Each structure stands twice: as C-alpha cells, then as structure tokens.
Chain A
Amino acid sequence: MESRISLCMIVKDEEQNIRRCLQSVAGTVDEIIVVDTGSTDGTCQIAREFGALVHSFPWNDNFSDARNASLELATGDWILFLDADEELAGESREVLRRLANEKNVEGYFIKIINYVGNEGWVETCPDLVFRLFKNRKDYRFRGAIHEQIADVILERNSQARYQIAEDLVILHYGYLDRQIKAKDKKNRNLALLSQELNRNPDNRHLRYHYGVELYRAERFDEAAAELVRAANGIDPNTIYLPKLLRYIVLAYHAARKPEQALEIVQLGLGLFPNYADLYYYGGLISYEQKDYGRAYEFFQKALSMPEQPAHYAPFGGTRGFRSLYQLGQLAEVFLNHEEAMRYYILSLRDNPHFTPALESITRLLKPQEDPVYTKKCLEQLCEFCTPQANLLMGQILFRQSAYKLALEYLERGMDQQEAAPEILLWKAICLIQLRRYLEALRILEGFGPDHRLYPLAKLNKILCFWFQGKRRKVRPLVEELFALGLSQDTGAVVSLLQNYPGRRRGPGVTLGDEGMSLLLDILMRALDLGEKERAESLLDGLSRECLSKNARAVGQLFYRYGHLKTAEYYLGLYLEANPECPETLFTLAEIKERQNACIEAGELYRRALALDPAEPRYYVSLIRLYEKMRREILREAIDKYPELPVLRRLFEEANQEI
C-alpha cells in the first residue's frame, strides 16, 4: 500500500506566499494541515481553496506548540513540513513519493535553497533541513524558536535512521531582503531567542541561531561573541559546525577584527580542509589586509576544492566565478592586466550573469580610448541578444565614460523595448558628449517639470549650452533650475557655470562632497569633449582650500585625459598639504615617466614605496622603469656601436624579460 503524506504548515498573514507554496505540492501530498496563528488577510481563504484543513491556534510566542498542534491533526504516515515562504522544486515531487515508501528510514535531511539579497541581485545559498519524518504520536517539536524534532525522534527511538535526500529540494524565499524587511523577522527572532536562551543557557544550537540573528541584525561584535561561545568545546561532528565557523568568520570580519577572523579560518580549515568558503573568505580578508601573497594562495585553494557537501551550506561561486574575479582584482594590484583579463573572462564564463566580471573586462579594454577594439572583444565574449543585455552593456560603458560605444548599445537595447527614463537620460548625455546637441535637447525636453529626473535633465540642458559657450542661453536656464530649489552645494556648482573663463570673483566657493562630486563629473565631461580651458575655468571659481583639498582628484582627472603639465600642477598642490600621500607621488611618478624624466620618476616611485611598502603597484612600476631604462641604453648603444653583436644579444635578453 502506498504511504500517505501529510503536509503541515503554520502560517500568519501569508497571502503573498501561500499560493505558491500550495501549488507546488498540489497532487503530491495526501492532506494539507494549516495551523493559522491569527491571520488578518486572505491566507486561510487561499488555503481552503487548496483543500486544506485550516485550524486556528492562538499565538503563544512558541513555534513548537503551534507546530505540534498541526501534528495532532495529521493522519498520514509521513509528515512534510513547509513554511509559506517556501515551495517544493518541480522535479521533487516524484522523489517525495519514492522517499515516503522507504521502510527503514525515520526521517530525511532535505536540501533547501535559500534565496538571499535584493531581488535585483539574488544569491542562492543551499543548506540541509530536517523536514520529512514518520508521523508518530511521540515525535513532537521542542524549542520556542528554531524548533527541533530530529533529536527528539532519536531520543524516543534509538533505532531511528536518517538519510540525506539531496534530490528533494525546497526553495526558500524568506531571506530576500524585501521579505525580511516586510516582516521585521530579525527583531522578532532575536527577542524570542534571547528569552529562550535565558531559560536554556547551555543550549549550543540555540546560541548558534541567536548569533546568526545578531549577525543579520548587524550587531557584529555581539554576534561574534555568541557564536564563539556556541563553538567552544563543540563536538567536531556537529552537523552545523561548518556553518557556525563561517558565521564566526563573517562576524569577526564585519566587526573589523580581521586577525581573529583569519584565525578562525585557519582553525576551520584544520577541521574541514576542503571547505571552499573558508578559503574564499580567508582570501577576501587577506586582500583587505594587503597580504596579497596569502590572498592569492587562499583563492587558488578555493578554486581547487571539490564539490561541497550540502551541510556546508556553500555560498555560490566560491569555487568558481567569485574566486576567479578576486584573482583578477589581485592581478590588477600587480599591474598584470593580461592575467587579470584572463581571470575575469574565466569568471564570466563560469557565471555569465556575474556583472562585476563583465564590468572589469570592459574597464580593462579601455573602451574610451579604443571603442572599435573594445566592441570587437565584447561581441566575441558575449551574445547581446536580449534588450537587457544591451542595456546593461550600455550602462557599464556609460560608467566608463565610453559615450560613443555606450550610445550604440543603449540604442540597440531601446529598439527592442520601451526605455526607462534613466536610460533616456543616459542616452541624452551620450549625445551631448558626441556634440549631437540637438538630438540631446530633444530628449531632454521630454522630461516634464513633474518628472523626478527633471532637475537632472535641466542641468544637462545647461551643460549642452555651456559646452558650446552659449552663455546667454545658460543664464535663464540656471535661473529656472534655481527656482526648483537646489541644495546649497549643487547651487554653488551651478552658479560656477555662469562664470567667465579666466575671471574670478571674490574668494571663491568651498564645496562639500556632494558638490565636489558633481563638479568633478562636469570637469570630466568637459575634458572628454576636449574643452580643457572651460574645465579650468570651473576650477577658477573654487576657494584655495577647497581646491587644495580636492587637488588630487582634479590632478588625476587631467592625467587621465593626457594633460600632464596641468596634472602635475594640481598634484603638486595636493602634495604641499599632504606630503605623505603615496598615491599622489605614484601618479606624479607616472607623469614623470611619460615625460621621460626617468631619474625623477624613479625617485618618486621609491618615495611612494617608502610610505606604503605594501603596495605592489609601486614595486612593479619601479621594476618596469629600470627595465625600460636598460632597454633604451642598449638601443642607443647598438646605434652607436653596430659592430658589436654582444649588445644585440643583451638587448634581446632585456626584451625577453618583459
């Protein structure tokens, strides 16, 4: 005879979710028991539509009591427990029937896939849970929250055997940020857990959950302390120990205690030498500590790990795209762009939806300098067959200030679907940067005064004329923009647009971070258009101290657009106030190197290095400088003494070392 399966649930106000859950089991389970703890929405209604037996049970701050109430009503041979924010994965239904016919098993650990993060950026995080077990009178839940039944069954029946059923899969949506916020789950859980811990201070498992909830509530120091307490003296075979270790690492890391975090990584790897996530986090922390050698070892180790057992609840991609991406970042730290590119491509191949890898690839291709080549490479790498793909690519290129190419992808994406207003605005900006002002203005006109992007559109309209030097058109638009009510900072930037180039009124303005970031953006766009003088006219309006404070960013911008002398001036200005800034010295060194002043460049690299001996870029640039000098001396020597073959040989040798 076929075994009968009872689905048991406890619910409260789940009308958003319960339909999805019940649909997933309809026709698979033989009865549905729903214990409602006080819904005020349509939850019960929906449950009844699916033929559920709905039972009301007043909430008493105890999950076990509610769950046991549902068990009392179940008549099947097996109990399947689901929460309303879960569903059974499609292919699991037949598996469920097969499992229920096993004679010698009392219960199963089932794979659950947790969806975490924002819905725009979803991560999956698998785990194992005990949700399918024989229905017997003495098998009842224990614990007010994170209620347990697996150990109760073992206490009642020492002969009981459990199995892991990885092919039965529950999908859980409850960790998605939106849902967590909606239900304020964190606080509810924390309050309940701490009450129960007061009653049972020795319950390790409970303390573990308490620590995890503290971590979710971003109370990292307390989380680390509770989790460490849960781990002290634990039996190494405890099924949740790997997860516990990972949470300790995460908590220490978030609490800015990287050394302790790394200690736990080492300790954990001693117990679970194949645990990819620990290597991955070890790598991340070492990277942040600027211990790049160790970071490299950790990520390489993570990549070499075998398939992870489900009870590690592995984080997706630590054995693949995530570690590959980090290795790419590491390679960039060593200025090794070829190797970085290779890792990013591998990362993207492992997970084509992993945008950070695509963004890094695009950045390394220098789309602004070489759009044709960039396009060729991107087309080889990806298929841009959906509008989303084209729009994403356009957005990435836009962020890289590669306006021509960005426009191409944005237009392709927009052909295929109705464009969001942000995308229209980006398109207008691209057009401005290509000096197609009329087309840009046409789009910008489309934003009415009620539109939330109206001020931005207006500002870009001003810029359209400002770039063209049409001061008469700028003035009335500026006044209109002011009429909208601008923040002081933004207002100050906008007034700067009215200044005459080369003329200065009064002591100049001092901008805050918001204003400065806007100013730098306009500066960058001016330089992109080749309007260097116009760019500098903006800076003329700044106060001395404001300019000095931001001179590094300004200098780097001029450097990026090839204005070496101007860049040198601003970086020197910054250095006067901040003589110990290695990054400024480094950029200055790069400028000197491009001006062929090798001795000065070398001195600047060495100064940067003395201030920050942990920065590999400084070493690599210095090495490359010496090698370049060596090749140049040999090249000149060959011209001078063409009869000496030894010089040629040395030159070839020097070239091979690159």
Chain B
Amino acid sequence: MIPTVALAMIVRNEEANLAACLDSVKGAVDEIVIVDTGSTDRTVEIARRYTGKVYRYPWHGDFSAARNYALARAKSDWILSLDADEELDTSPGDLHSLINNNSGYEAFFLPLHNRATENPGDYNRFFVLRLFRNKAGYRFQGIIHEQVVISRPEAVGTAQGPVIWHRPLSKKERNCKRGRNLALLRQAVAADPANPFLQYYLGVEWLGLGKAERALPYLQEALKQLTDGHILFRAPAIRLVIACLRALGSLDEAICICMEESQRYPFYTDLFFDGGILFEEKGEYEIALKWFEEALRLGQPPPLFSHTNGTESFLSLYHLGYCHEKLARFKEAKNCYEKALALNPAYLYPLYNLFLLYLAEKGPQGTFDHLKAAGHLNHPQQVVVLADLFFEAGFPDLACACFEEAGPGAGSPTEDHARRLARFCVYAGRFEHALFLMERIRHAGGEIDPSLAVDEIVALMLKEDYRLAKIRTISLWRRPQGRSPAWTLLNLISLLGNGSRCGRPEKNREPAVIETALTILENCLRYRPGPLEPGNARVSSGYHRLAQETIKLLTSLSPRGCMALCAYLKEKASAARHMLDYKCGPARGLFS
C-alpha cells in the first residue's frame, strides 16, 4: 500500500510567502495541517484556500510545542515539515516513491538550499531532517532550533532530493528574527548550559550580527563537543570557527584549523576553499592556488556536509584567477575567470577582473571585440556591468555598443537599459540620438529623473539649442532636488551663450552646484572622437568648449570650487597612475 504524507507547518504573518510554499507542494502531499500562532494579516485566509485543517495555537515562546501541536493533528503515515518561507522543488509522487523505494527507514534528511541572494547560484546547501514517520514517539524537542529526535541514527536515510529552497531574507527581516532567536536561545541555554547545539546556534546568531568576537567562544565550544555523529552540525561549525577567526584577523589560527580538519575530512571541498581564501588573504598566492585546485578536483562534498554552492566550481575558479593575476600569470588568470563565468554567468565578479585585464592588454576596442565574441553581451546582467565599466573607463561609445550589440540572451531592453543608453549616447558624440531616446522614454510614460535631465540639457547645449536647454533647465529648477543642478546648468548655458554668468549660489547649495559641474566635466572628458566620423572636429570642439566653460565656472565660483576641481584632477592623475601600476607594477621605481 502507498503510504500517505502530510505537510505540517506553523505560521505567523506569512501572507507574502505562504501561497508560494503551498503551491510548491500541490499534489505532492495527501494532507496539509497548518497551525497559526497569532497572525494579524491574511495568512489564515490564504491557508484556508488550500486546506480545511487550519488551527490556532497561542504563542508562548516554544517552537517545539507549536509544531508538536500540528503533528498531533496529522493523520497520514509520514510527516513533511516546512516553513512558510521555503518551497519544495518536487513533482507529484516524488515523496511517495522516495519512501517506497527506501523501505526500512524511519526518517530522511532532505537537502536545503539556503539562498543568500536572488542570484540563482548563490546558496548554501545543508541537510535537514524534515521527512519522518508519523509516530507518537517522534516529536520536536527544544524551544528553538527544534529538532525531531530519532534515537537510531542508522534509521535515517539521506535523500538527494527533492530539494527545499529557502527564500533569501531581507536584512531587516533577518535582524528582526535574530533578535527574537537570541532571546529564546538565552532562555534555552539557561535550562541546558552544556548542550552543544545551543552553543552552536548562539554562535551562528552572533556571527550573523557581525560580532565574531562574541560568536567565537560558543562555536569553539560546540566544535569541541560535537562528534562525527553530528556531522550536520560539526561541518558548519568548523567553517564558522574559521570565519570568525578570519574576521578577527587570526589567519594563522584559522589556517591551523583548516589543516587539521582537512586531514580529518580530506573530501570536504569547502574546507579547501576556505583554506585557499585564508592563504590568499595572507598574500601566499602560490599556496592558495593549491588549495583552490584541490577544491575544484574534489567536486561536491558528500551529503550531510554543509556546502556553499560554487566552492567546487565557479567560486574556486574565480579565486584561482585572482591568485594567478596577483602572480602576474595573466593568461591563466583570464582562463580561470572565463571558466568561472561560463559555469555561473550570474556570478559577476570575474567579469570586472577580466575587463581590466583585457583593457590593459588589448585596449578598449580589442576588449570589446573579445568580450562580445566570448558571448558576454548575451547575458542580461553582464551587458549592464560591461556597459557601466566601459563608460567609467572613459569609452562611452563602447558603453553604447554594449547595449546596441547585445545578443538575444540579454533579453529585451528594459527602461533601465534605455536610460543608461541615453546617458551614454550624450557623451559618445551622439547627442541627437540621445535626445531622441529620451523623448521616447517620455513618450512611453517613463520618468526622466533629475540626473538624466542634466544629461538631456547637456545634450541640448552640445546641439547648441540653448533656448530649449533653458526651458528644460527651468522645469528642472521646479523639481525637488532640481534646483542646484539647474543653477549649474543655467550658468553654463549663459557662459556658452554670451560669456557671462550670475553671482554666487546660496551657500548651502554650493556643494551640490559643484558636484553637478564636476559630473558634467567628468562626462565631457569621457568623450573621444571616433577616427572616421565626418565632421568630428566640430563635435569634438563642442565637448572641449563645454569642459572648458565648466572649468571656468568652477574656478570662478569660489575657493571651494577650485579645490574641488583640484581634487578631481588629482583623482584623475592617480587613476592613470593606478592603470600604469596595474600594467607595469614591478617597475614602480621608475614612475612613482
């Protein structure tokens, strides 16, 4: 006979998540039991749409009690336990066949993928005991981080699926939960001071709050007491101790732990990744390389060992690339970055490094051609990153090209893309086109925010349409946060027109006035004439004049204006020096 499965959960104020959770198990379970511990939103109403078994249970600070109340109301042979912010990645029948095909087990560990961000590859893998026989003896224990206790460990199976996905929490949600958890944990520890699990969770919460020095003693104590029988906890405890020591700057101590524990678990990928990170931080790149290579070689660690997705692939590859780069082995570095991006195109850090490496080696056009050929313009996030990078590096024409030559994989252009492209066009010598794009955004009901409005007015000035520029500036003046930029623009229009300018802005407006001027100057200096554009001398001279007048405005404005301009030039010089250093670092003695 096919066994039946009940989903049992406790909820409070989960109107945002509950439907997604229940949808994910639709058809996969035979019964749903929901216990509400005091919602004040539409949670109960939503729950009722999925099941008749919705109960209320007054909250008195004990998770186990509430969950056991739910268990007692389930009639099926097996229990699946989920939280409202989780979803089960399953098809109907998966759970039943898991149970049927592995008879003799009393319970199963299921993989839980804990998302750190919305990025699909960015998660940690844990194993959790969430599927167990519905027996009176199997009840939750502990007021917090409650667990079902199965006395015979060999009766617990480990399943590779279905996977439970845990939604990423916002910072606010997380900290709110942490405060609550710490209070409950303190209470629990008072009752059971030697319990290593509670020590472990206390460490986790403190580290989550960024207090490594408070977390460390709890985690060290937990690690000391936990045995291989508790590998579910022991494995993450090792990594958390390492993380604490690293945060506290005790790299050598952290390395010792890594060495010891990697001897004990020579198959545990994440430890080798952590070791690599530690050596990398010490500047021992050659050694770090060996650790990352081992992590890559090992692949995924065995089940039950908590695992950060990517340590066996793109994360290690990214760090391998970084170490090679530091050792001036650029070819290998590029290779590793490319591989990391291929394995997880949404993990963008390697793209920044690749960009700089190529720029220093091939120049801007060569970099663009290469990145395009390598398919990096065929991915929605990579296109935006690259466009921004080209613009920042002073190549607005190529920033435009990133959008204009994007592949089908980049998706259809969004309003955000359109705004970026319009801005880049203003400084790429294509101000007419920029104006057209902005009109189109307006037409489609999109917003021209004050910073884009500045670019639009700059485009009008470059077009020498001072009349419309003035009109637009006046309407900018009327918008909140529009007044100071408008002051700058009005003065520039007047300097370009008849060479005069108005007096001084109000004192409290001066910083914003200067900032707008510097932004305009910086952007105008990004312009570079294309080699073969007809009439480009005239276009160029427009940017030169505007830059010149902006400098004049800043120097004549006030001492503060002069100083801001000087700070800007100093920054430019040091950016160029930085590039040179990047290219010829070891010969530093000859140029700085």
Contact = CB atoms under 8 A, between A and B. Distances in A.
Interface of A: 292-297, 330-331, 333-334, 336, 339, 579-580, 599-600, 602-603, 606-607, 609-614, 616, 619-620, 622-623, 626-627, 629-630, 633-634, 636-637, 641, 644, 646-647, 650, 654
Contacts of B570: 626, 630, 654
A402 to B, nearest CB: 27
A626 B580 contact: no
Given A616-B591, A623-B580, A630-B566, 4 more contacts: A297-B587, A612-B363, A622-B576, A626-B570
Q: Which 5 A-B pairs have the closest CB atoms?
A: A579-B531, A296-B587, A293-B586, A626-B573, A619-B580
13 contacts: A292-B583, A296-B587, A296-B589, A330-B587, A330-B590, A334-B584, A579-B531, A600-B544, A606-B394, A610-B528, A620-B580, A626-B572, A627-B569
Contacts of A633: 551, 555, 562, 565-566, 569
Interface string B506-544: 000000000000000000010111011000000010001
A634 B566 contact: yes
A602 B569 CA distance: 12
Interface stretch (B147-155, B248-256, B340-348, B354-362): B354-362
Given A626-B573, A627-B573, A647-B559, A616 B580 contact: yes
Given A602-B525, A603-B540, A613-B361, A654 B566 contact: yes
Interface in B351-398: 359-365, 394-395
Given A294-B328, A606-B394, A634-B562, A623 B587 contact: no
A525 B273 CA distance: 68
B532 A579 contact: yes
Q: Which of B548, B569, B587 has the most CB of A within 10 A?
A: B587
Q: Which of B527, B528, B544, B591 has the most CB of A within 10 A?
A: B591
B208 interface: no
B104 interface: no
A331 B590 contact: yes
B547 interface: yes
Name the prevailing secondary structure of the B interface residues.
helix
Contacts of A623: 573, 576-577, 580
B585 interface: yes
Interface residues of B, number: 43
Given A607-B528, A610-B395, A613-B363, A650 B584 contact: no
A606 B544 CA distance: 14
Contacts of A579: 531-532
A652 to B, nearest CB: 13
Interface in B38-95: none
B311 to A, nearest CB: 31
Given A293-B585, A599-B544, A630-B569, A619 B525 contact: no
Contacts of A616: 580, 583-584, 591
Contacts of B395: 610
Given A607-B528, A610-B395, A616-B584, A650 B563 contact: yes
Contact of A293 (B363, B573, B584): B584
Contacts of B577: 619, 623
A548 to B, nearest CB: 16
A334 B590 contact: yes
Contacts, number: 122
B551 to A, nearest CB: 8
Nearest to B546: A599
A637 B554 CA distance: 11
Contacts of B573: 622-623, 626-627, 630
Q: Which of B328, B529, B531 has the most CB of A within 10 A?
A: B531
Contacts of A339: 589-590
Contacts of B359: 613
B468 to A, nearest CB: 26
B111 to A, nearest CB: 45
B84 to A, nearest CB: 54
A636 B359 CA distance: 37
Contacts of B580: 616, 619-620, 623
A612 B361 CA distance: 9
Contact of B555 (A295, A336, A636): A636
B322 to A, nearest CB: 18
Contacts of B576: 619, 622-623, 626
B231 interface: no
Nearest to A615: B583
Given A297-B586, A619-B580, A637 B361 contact: no
Nearest to A629: B569
Contacts of B547: 599
A647 to B, nearest CB: 6
A627 B589 CA distance: 19
B579 interface: yes
Contacts of A334: 584, 587, 590-591
A612 B589 CA distance: 22
A646 B560 CA distance: 10
A488 B20 CA distance: 89
A650 B559 contact: no
A637 B559 contact: yes
A295 B532 CA distance: 36
Q: Which of A330, A612, A613, A644 has the most CB of B within 10 A?
A: A613
A599 B532 CA distance: 21
B531 A620 contact: no
A607 B526 CA distance: 11
A654 to B, nearest CB: 7
Contacts of A613: 359-363, 583
Nearest to A605: B576
A644 B562 CA distance: 12
